[in-house]
Structure 1
Amino acid sequence: MTIQGKNQRVQISLDLSPELYETLKNLAQQLDGDMAEVLLKGIVLMQVAVEAKQNGKHLWITDEKKTLETEIVGI
């Protein structure tokens, strides 16, 4: 992909439930961004999780003391 290609965008249409739309809108507000940014960050996070799983790794949420609080499964 060329540098010019990285700046191009493709528009898509999504059918979302009202609840998911509200979640997306609330996340955008919390990030001081827009819904496209939320979707982009979600996709990047999913990519990290899938690549980790393919490499035999796990995705965890820890507290400030690095104590395991949650393991993300089902990806």
Structure 2
Amino acid sequence: MTTQNRPQRIQINLDLSPELYETINNLVQQINGDNTEVFLKAIALLEVVVEAKLKGKHLWITDDKQNLETEIIGI
């Protein structure tokens, strides 16, 4: 693959609390992925939530019978 065909990447550095770093590492293990995958999935989920909120919709967690268990607020 030539340099022209490679997708452009930007590297960032983050200062994380030990607790957040541990949370990220736990998620990495749970999804059998890596840090990048955790961040990509988190950003994709946040994007869905923000778009829904802008449309006046809500995000809920339901059980397998569609009973409301939790409403996600504050995002």
Q: Taking structure 1 as the reference length, what is the TM-score of the superposition?
A: 0.89
C-alpha distance in structure 1 between counterparts of 2:50 and 2:5, whole Å: 25
Aligned residues: 72
Q: Which runs of 5+ in 2 are unaligned?
A: none
The CA RMSD over aligned residues, in Å, is: 1.7
Identity %, equivalent residues: 67
Q: 1:5 to 1:18 in 2, by over 3 A?
A: farther
Aligned residue number for residue 12 of structure 1: 12
Q: Which runs of 5+ in 1 are unaligned?
A: none
Aligned residue number for residue 51 of structure 1: 51
C-alpha distance in structure 2 between counterparts of 1:13 and 1:60, whole Å: 33
Q: Taking structure 2 as the reference length, what is the TM-score of the superposition?
A: 0.89
Q: CA deviation at 1:8?
A: 2.5
Query: Larger C-alpha radius of gyration, 1 or 2?
Result: 2
